Amino acid sequence: MNLPDMRKPEALWAHMRRTLAFYAPRAMDETGGCFHFFKDDGSVYDRRSRHLVSSTRFVFNHALAWRWFGGSAKDVAHALAFVNQAHAQPRGGYAWTLDWSEGRATVTDGGNHCYGLSFVLLANSHAAQAGVPGAREGIAATFALMEQRFWEPAHGLYADEATPDWQLGAYRGQNANMHACEALLAAHAASGEARYLDRALLLATSVAQRQAALAGGLVWEHYKTDWTPDWDYNRHDKTNIFRPWGFQTGHLTEWAKLLLMLERRLGDAAPGWLLPTARHFFDAAMKHGWDEKHGGLVYGFAPGGDVCDADKYFWVQAESLAAAAWLAVHSGDDGYWQWYDRIWAYAWQHFVDHEHGAWYRILAPDNGKVTDEKSPAGKTDYHTLGACQDVLAALGVQPPAKDIT
């Protein structure tokens, strides 16, 4: 199938509709929330397991459908209600995983994760824009919980995880802070409150300036309690999808995108380092992450630049093409549009399922299929849908006006 001109809004809208159609209406569980596990053909292969990341990301998906295509705000509210009623716990946290059966939730992992709270904040922010009752209050309440339980003012960053009774663990990571930055930008867009934008800038400064300076100018993933790099954490363990070892190609480009979103939102108050740092992160990701033989961007590379994980993940391609579009617009450098077109061409050929819709999750280094599980917990194509929306934002394309009164 020939690649449309993905610089045109019409092509992006068509792809968003096609991706949303893979999940709707089959993802909706009338007993609560959404199903989280889908095979390539869309069939649900686990109807009971629920993960906080998927539960919150489905709120984002439904809000995106509402924003651009006349989707139902009731669907947004349905997804958010599951987060607030099933995942929310008496001690103020949100269960990481649940078993959901006959309308009842059994907690299977009650640990608290700042990564998860970041997505609760993101979900409330997008639901608030759709006019969902209580979502605006949910923004403030989630931010307050993150501040109370995870914020470390001496470091200007959030801690990562805690037990169900809020005992902090020793691990520190950039990933939770990156998604907190994303969620805070959404919270500012939904509320207009300056404190969210201020905090987003502080997180970006802490990670992209101070922490990057400890790792040769790039973003390392893992840290000790004092926020010095932990160079060996998960070095030989590829099973933890939220804490991979090495420099992550997709996280470098995702930070590039977020820095430019910050620059636009801050306007004249934006510090001058945002664009140069975004360019540096993206350029390094392309230098070390692009597979010249098979195409596409690899998952990670080691200090020194050698590839440490050559698998191809959908979200790495999606975040990178969105970052390329933002860089092209903000820098005026046409080379970034060339990267945008190159990444899209690769993803269109190898990741987009032109028969059933949505993107495959993971491919082998040579782009071969490794699983028929297109969308297990955590995916929901939030990255691919969000990337299209982010490209539209880079281009200055606004969704149709909505009346949420």
Q: Which domains does the chain have, with CATH numbers?
A: 9-394 (1.50.10.10)
The 10 Å Cβ neighbour count of residue 148 is: 10
Mean pLDDT, rounded, for 31-58: 98
Label residue 401 by pLDDT band (50, 70, 90): confident
Is the pLDDT at 242 greater than 90? The verdict is no
CA gap 292, 295 in Å, rounded: 6
Give the pLDDT mean for 39-66.
98
Question: In the annotation, is 383 catalytic?
Answer: yes
β-pairing, 112-113 vs 151-152, is unpaired
The stretch 84-97 carries a mean pLDDT of 96
pLDDT digit string (tens) for 295-308? 999 999 999 999 99
> Are 384 and 314 within 8 A, CB to CB?
yes
Give, in degrees to the nearest 5, the angle at Cα 126 between 29 and 97. 45
**DSSP secondary-structure letter at 64?**
H
36, 87, 251, 330: the catalytic one is: 251
Q: Active site residue: 51, 62, 350, 383, which one?
A: 383
Using DSSP, state whether 307 is helix, strand or coil.
strand
For the residues 121-126, what does the mean pLDDT come to? Answer: 98
Contact 362, 311 (CB under 8 A): yes
**How far apart are the C-alpha atoms of 230 and 220, rounded to whole Å?**
9
pLDDT tens for each residue of 364-382: 999 999 999 999 999 999 9
Q: Which residues of 87-96 are buried (b: 16+ CB within 10 A; e: fewer)?
A: bbeeeebbbb
Token pair of 87, please? Answer: 């995942």
Helix orientation angle between 334-350 and 274-289, rounded to the nearest 10 degrees: 40
Task: Look at residue 405 and tell me whether its pLDDT is greater than 60.
Answer: no
Instruction: Give CA–CA dist 40/44, Å, rounded.
Output: 10
* Structure-block tokens of residue 45: 């292969």
Is 351 in contact with 19 (CB distance < 8 Å)? Answer: no
CA distances (Å), origin 395, targets 132, 158, 241, 270, 390: 28, 32, 32, 20, 9
Active-site annotation holds for 251: yes
Q: How are beta strands 104-109 and 298-301 bridged, if at all?
A: unpaired
Give the pLDDT confidence score for residue 7 in this predicted structure: 98
Per-residue pLDDT, 403: 67
Greater model confidence, 236 or 222: 222
| Residue 223, C-beta contacts closer than 8 angstroms, at least 6 positions apart | 171, 172, 173, 174, 211, 229, 230
What does the alpha-carbon distance between residue 388 and residue 318 come to, in Å, rounded to a whole number?
8
pLDDT band at 35 (very low <50, low <70, confident <90, very high): very high
Q: Are 12 and 19 in contact (CB under 8 A)?
A: no
CA distances from 101 to 52, 89, 96, 297, 319 (A): 16, 18, 16, 39, 34
Per-residue tokens: 134 = 């209580």
Q: What is the mean pLDDT of the chain?
A: 97
Predicted local confidence at residue 194, as pLDDT: 98
- How does pLDDT run across 140-189, given as a tens digit for each residue? 999 999 999 999 999 999 999 999 999 999 999 999 999 999 999 999 99
- Report the pLDDT value the prediction gives residue 391, as an integer from 0 to 100: 98
